[in-house]
Structure 1
Amino acid sequence: MSQAADPFEPTPLYRILLRAPVKLLLYHAYHLVTYLRSAPTPSEPPISVVCISDTHTHVLEDIPPGDILIHAGDLTNAGSIAEIQKQVDWLCSLPHKEIVVISGNHDTYLDPRTRPSLSGPERKGEIDWKRVHYLQHRRLSLTIAVENSNANSRTHLLASTRHRRIQFYGAPQIPACGPMSVHAFQYPRGQDAWSETVPEDTDILITHTPPKYHLDLPLPDGMGCEHLLAEVKRVKPTLHVFGHVHWGAGQTVIWWGGCHDAFVNGMEVKSKWSHGLLNPKLWFNIVKIGYRGAIELIWDRVWGGQGSRTTMVNAAQMHGNTGRLGNPVQVVNI
């Protein structure tokens, strides 16, 4: 009897071609259109956000400088107080102006429901968060001071400090991927744990799970949460940082419009027969990606209209399921 494939490992290309060839075409059509879009223009003054996640007790030797450092969960493996405190101490030693952290499913102590699974010594004491802003279903407002240097006509450098107010919201819950008594902040897959939970004025959203079909091993099924995706679409934050699915590490820009809607609608189609080859809904959404994508590209490249968008970052540092760090640190200017 063959062992079931690990959903947190990439599906080999030949299996995707056998199971979902039309979805593979749809996926690449959408990402081609996205690739052709112009890069988002940061606000003034731009703020540099350094994004990491899934360090699993490891310490990064070289983290780029920036105004804000975000850790999107899974600081630890076992989730004991001692493990969490070591990660907090390391983060506090870094030079970034502000440090914002959420929990992940491996950070067991931080969820009262899973805390009893730790032995007595592992859960004895308290965590000293120091200057770390820890968000657990909580919003945060920070004023970031940014130094600007400009050359005037006489080549003098004029340094000025400008400020921007940034609204954060952090939440750790994920679709279940392990025992409920051990893995923290889980809810049954398919359950809506997100609707109307994120404040509408959120600039930076931090979650541990990805939204479905975005940097979450989307083919053939996706490991993210569809309800989180709907909530991100409703709020449209400037930046959404997450982790959890290590092989999905990277960043992408979501332009909210008809092309993205067609992509999601197509990915949601269930085809148990003919592998989607004869499914008109799938082909219709591929055509719609081409049609709406062309309109949005013209609007962007010819008329200079960018429209609403969200930069999504899977900041996982763990290289797949190897137990070793290896993914590049993601940096975004917003």
Structure 2
Amino acid sequence: MVLQILSGWRRLRETSTPAKAPDPFEPTPILALAFRAPVKLLLYHTYHVINLLRSTPTPPERPIRVVCMSDTHNHIPEHVPGGDVLIHAGDMTNNGSIEEIQKQVDWLASLPHKEIVVISGNHDTYLDPRTRPSLPGDQRTGTIDWKRVHYLQHRRLSLTIAFDPRDRDTDSINSRTHLLARETRHRRIILYGAPQIPACGPMSVHAFQYPRGRDAWSETVPEDTDILITHTPPKYHMDLALPNGMGCEHLTTEVKRVKPTLHIFGHVHWGAGHEVVWWDGCHDAYEKGMSIQPRWACGLLNPWLWLSIVRVAYRGLRGLIWDRVWGGQGPHTVMVNAAQMYGNTGRLGNTAQVVDI
């Protein structure tokens, strides 16, 4: 009898369908997070509430308007805001064939922006020689006509943006001499683009991947970079930070070292949005706390997690007072997850984001 029960249980286990692992690119429900990692959930919201209370960084007198896009996946948005520079942070396509990439390049090149800059994403297969063999035979050879689009692949780009002051400040121009009214201003910005991402699929199919956890970033970004363009997010910033984060921790460290004015990325569709990261003690405490694994009792008995919350609150309030009372603004980076795709629905739903720098 006992042998029959054991035999039946074994057959049931062998024939039953295993539970499907949750998709890390889908957001974890808030109730599940409250059960699995309640202290980290509190840490996450403490940091972001304090950040929301801080003032918006003041752009220069003559700002450059940057239009940020990513993850269009063969789609063409109905409306693209105007601006000086348009930047696409990768995943222009689904399958990454030459034909698909060329269609996206043709569309981008037709837009009226003064400068257009693009990097690759993991779906833009042809652009990575390592994944090109996964394409059908007739798509493995050929070239892409980039037209006036700047394609950055581990490359630095210097742009000089010219603009007429009358485009931004008509009232003040009317009070000046005719000679000054015709003056054209210029600003120079440095951009750096890199497509590599932590592995999220087969290495032979998804482009520009490296094993998760490997440092593919240290000392790779030029120190004078004004705009950094990557496909992966930095870890714990608009990358579905809870419970574990889909971004790269080494990229976070590199961004902190360089402190670009603007960092544009995509890849994690549900993370679309923007935030200002202030490189201060509050951010350090947040990053260290988020890297702690809850383990026993979902982190409720972990004193280091609770200490991280105290540090984020204390240092964040100090920064908030310095900002709101004394008007001080320390080193910071505007981070933009520019994914156009609405989650993993296969359709566009997020608008392009505009940042003045």
TM-score tier, shorter chain, comes to: over 0.9
Corresponding residue number in structure 2 for 1:138: 155
- Distance change (3 Å), C-alpha of 1:237 and 1:153: closer
Q: Percent identity?
A: 73
Aligned CA RMSD, in angstroms, stands at: 1.3
Q: How far apart, in 1, do the equivalents of 2:212 and 2:262 lie?
A: 24
Q: 2:102 corresponds to which residue? A: 85
CA contact (8 A) 2:125 2:131 kept: yes
**Would the aligned equivalents of 2:165 and 2:173 in 1 still touch at CA under 8 Å?**
no
**Paired amino acid for 2:46:** A
Letter in 2 for 1:147: D
SS state at 1:139 partner: strand
Decide which of 168, 174, 190 is 1:167's aligned counterpart. Answer: 190
Question: Match for residue 209 of structure 2?
Answer: 186
Q: Using the TM superposition, give the Cα deviation of residue 328 of structure 1 relative to its aligned residue in structure 2, in angstroms.
A: 1.4
2:143 corresponds to which letter in structure 1?
E
Question: For 1:252-331, what aligned pairs fall within 5 Å after superposition?
Answer: 252-331=275-354
SS at match of 2:165: strand
Of residues 68, 76, 80, the one that matches 2:93 is 76
Separation of aligned partners in 2, 1:229 and 1:154: 46
For residues 100 and 291 of structure 2, what CA distance do their matches in structure 1 show? 39
Question: Which AA in structure 1 matches 2:111?
Answer: L
The TM-score with structure 1 as length reference comes to: 0.98
Deviates more, 1:146-155 or 1:191-200: 146-155
Q: Could you say what secondary structure the match of 1:56 adopts? A: coil
Instruction: Select 1:230's aligned residue among 244, 249, 253.
Output: 253
Deviation at 1:44, TM superposition (A): 2.9
Task: Please state if 1:66 is matched with 2:83.
Answer: yes
What stretches of structure 2 of length at least 5 have no aligned partner?
A: 1-17
Provide the rounded CA distance (Å) in 2 between the counterparts of 1:226 and 1:328.
27
Report the structure, 1 or 2, having the larger helix content. 2
Distance apart, 1:119 and its partner CA: 1.1
Q: Which whole-Å CA distance do the structure 1 matches of 2:242 and 2:172 have between them?
A: 52
Greater than 3 Å deviation, 4+ residue runs: 152-160
CA shift, 1:177, in A, is 0.3
What residue identity is the alignment partner of 2:32?
R
Q: What does residue 105 of structure 1 align with?
A: 122
Q: Does the C-alpha gap of structure 1 residues 181 and 153 become closer, same or farther in structure 2, counting only changes over 3 Å?
A: closer
Letter in 2 for 1:203: D
Q: CA deviation at 1:161?
A: 2.1
Read off the aligned partner of 1:312 and give its amino acid letter.
M
Paired residue for 1:42, among 42, 55, 59?
Answer: 59
Higher strand share: 1
What is the TM-score with the length of structure 2 in the denominator?
0.92
Once the two structures are TM-superposed, the CA of residue 159 in structure 1 deviates from its matched residue by 5.4
Corresponding residue pairs, total: 334
1:241 maps to which of 264, 267, 276? 264
Residues 169 and 199 in structure 1, CA contact (< 8 A), matched pair in contact too? yes
Which whole-Å CA distance do the structure 1 matches of 2:308 and 2:253 have between them?
18
Provide the C-alpha distance between the structure 2 equivalents of 1:44 and 1:243, rounded to a whole number of angstroms. 29
Q: Indicate the SS of the match to 1:205.
A: strand
SS of the counterpart of 2:191?
strand
Alpha-carbon distance change, 175 to 39 in structure 1, aligned in 2, over 3 angstroms = same
- Bigger radius of gyration, 1 or 2? 2
Partner of 1:204: 227
The answer to whether the 8 A contact 2:71-2:89 is kept is: yes
Distance 2:269 2:132 in 1: 24
